């Protein structure tokens, strides 16, 4: 019972973390991108064509670059993304997580910038401050070769609770085009898809259907290893916790062996009354399986209840003892998430029943091999 309950609860918590990470990071990172060599000039036409695909639910232009942001002597590297606020909400959740300011305050020509909450804190910048963007490009000046610099005004701060808070910054796409000397072109379009796991295939198909030399990429290339690691960790922890159920099944073996030893004379009497070895074996198989069945049913019920309420339970403990298990300054969320998946419940329950059934076979076989004459010799 305890093994099954713990296994269901732990896997539900891991599912919750997986879902939160997926919704937050992949809500900010594009599911797929399509770029064109030398820049994409007719992105509106391409976006209209791409948007006709049944799997595409959002398209937005973008300009990407890496640089350093400086403010009051603080320097941090950042991924600078030029966006159009009108279209960005179709492919990203950043507009729903603005902590200060507004995404609509990004206006072309005003050179505003929206920073991640942790990035802004590390720079010591607040709304209205000026930050300097240093690009890894050199430009000639009367003083010699100098890096390209541009001052931006902080107009917004977002917080999604992921590592992007410390590395991402947004500017208006028109400012990005002027800054990176793209003219009226953009680097490409970002796509949001119905099924993010189909992103590599859908992006490749879309890029192949477009006239010209287009390149496709997806979140699998940039963040696939992270989610593969989460899935592997979930499987390994599930396997380790399944050992708890295996230990409980071993206890069924020891319990039945002790019972067979104690009931030898009773088994012998049944044999003399005409019970066959198969009947004796069936008795102990049924008895051991019923033990496993009751434990599995109780454990499944307890595990489902815990999985559905563990978030509230942990929150109550934090409030009662004035502690915080997940610090939002360290972890990307400040609460314990849980997502119950019935396929996990079914797998765990079936696995526990199978182990319980297998655990009964050896003791039942021992019982079926008891010889009545030997068992009753001293009775």
Closest CA to 300 of 257, 344, 267: 344
Identity of the highest mean pLDDT range in 89-98, 316-325, 337-346: 337-346
pLDDT in tens, 125-178: 999 999 999 887 766 556 555 667 889 999 999 988 767 888 899 999 999 888
pLDDT given for residue 89 in this prediction: 85
Q: Which two tokens stand for residue 67?
A: 């640089």
Residue 330 pLDDT more than 70? no
pTM exceeding 0.75: no
pLDDT in tens, 232-244: 777 777 777 777 7
Distance CA 89, CA 95 (A): 6
**DSSP state, 101?**
E
Residue extents of the structural domains in the chain: 2-16+227-375, 28-225
Closest CA to 87 of 104, 99, 101: 104
List, in order, residues 6 or more apart from 353 with CB less than 8 Å away: 289, 292, 293, 296
Q: How many residues does the chain have?
A: 379
Distance CA 77, CA 330 (A): 20
Q: What's the N-to-C CA distance of the chain in angstroms?
A: 39
Q: Which two tokens stand for residue 54?
A: 């049944």
Instruction: For 202-257, give the DSSP string.
Output: HHHHHHHHSSS-EEEEEHHHHHHHHHHHHHHHHHHHHHHHHHHHHHHHHHHHHHHH
pLDDT given for residue 291 in this prediction: 86
Distance CA 10, CA 210 (A): 46
Closest CA to 293 of 371, 354, 246, 214: 354
E strand or H helix at 50: helix 43-50
Q: Tell me the longest C-alpha to C-alpha distance in the chain.
A: 114
- Range of lowest pLDDT (207-216, 254-263, 315-324, 370-379): 370-379
């Amino acid at each position: 019972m305890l093994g099954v309950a713990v296994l269901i609860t732990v896997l539900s918590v891991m599912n919750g973390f997986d879902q939160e990470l997926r919704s937050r990071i992949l809500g900010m990172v594009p599911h797929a991108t399509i770029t064109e060599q030398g820049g994409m000039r007719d992105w509106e036409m391409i976006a209209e064509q791409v948007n006709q695909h049944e799997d595409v639910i959002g398209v937005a232009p973008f300009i990407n670059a890496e640089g350093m942001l400086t403010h009051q002597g603080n320097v941090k590297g950042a991924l600078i993304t030029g966006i159009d606020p009108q279209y960005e909400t179709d492919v990203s959740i950043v507009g729903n997580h603005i902590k200060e300011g507004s995404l609509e305050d990004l206006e072309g020509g005003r050179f505003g910038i929206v920073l991640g909450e942790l990035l802004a804190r590390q720079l010591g910048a607040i709304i209205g401050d000026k930050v300097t963007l240093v690009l890894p490009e050199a430009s000639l000046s009367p003083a010699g070769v100098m890096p390209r610099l541009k001052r931006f005004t902080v107009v917004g701060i977002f917080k999604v609770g992921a590592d992007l808070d410390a590395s991402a910054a947004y500017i208006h796409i028109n400012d990005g085009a002027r800054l990176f000397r793209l003219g009226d072109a953009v680097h490409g379009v970002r796509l949001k898809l119905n099924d993010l796991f189909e992103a590599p295939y859908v992006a490749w198909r879309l890029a192949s259907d477009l006239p010209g030399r287009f390149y496709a990429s997806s979140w699998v290339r940039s963040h696939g290893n992270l989610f593969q690691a989460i899935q592997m960790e979930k499987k390994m922890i599930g396997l380790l916790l399944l050992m708890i159920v295996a230990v409980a099944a071993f206890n069924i073996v020891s319990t039945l062996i002790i019972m067979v030893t104690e009931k030898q004379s009773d088994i012998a009497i049944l044999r003399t009354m005409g019970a066959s070895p198969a009947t004796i074996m069936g008795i102990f198989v049924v008895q051991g399986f019923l033990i496993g069945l009751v434990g599995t049913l109780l454990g499944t019920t307890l595990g489902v209840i815990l999985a559905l309420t563990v978030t509230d339970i942990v929150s109550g403990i934090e409030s009662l003892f004035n502690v915080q298990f997940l610090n939002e300054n360290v972890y990307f969320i400040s609460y314990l998430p849980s997502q119950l998946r019935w396929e996990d419940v079914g797998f765990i329950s079936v696995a526990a029943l199978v182990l319980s059934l297998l655990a009964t076979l050896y003791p039942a076989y021992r019982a079926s091999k008891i010889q009545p004459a030997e068992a009753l010799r001293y009775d």
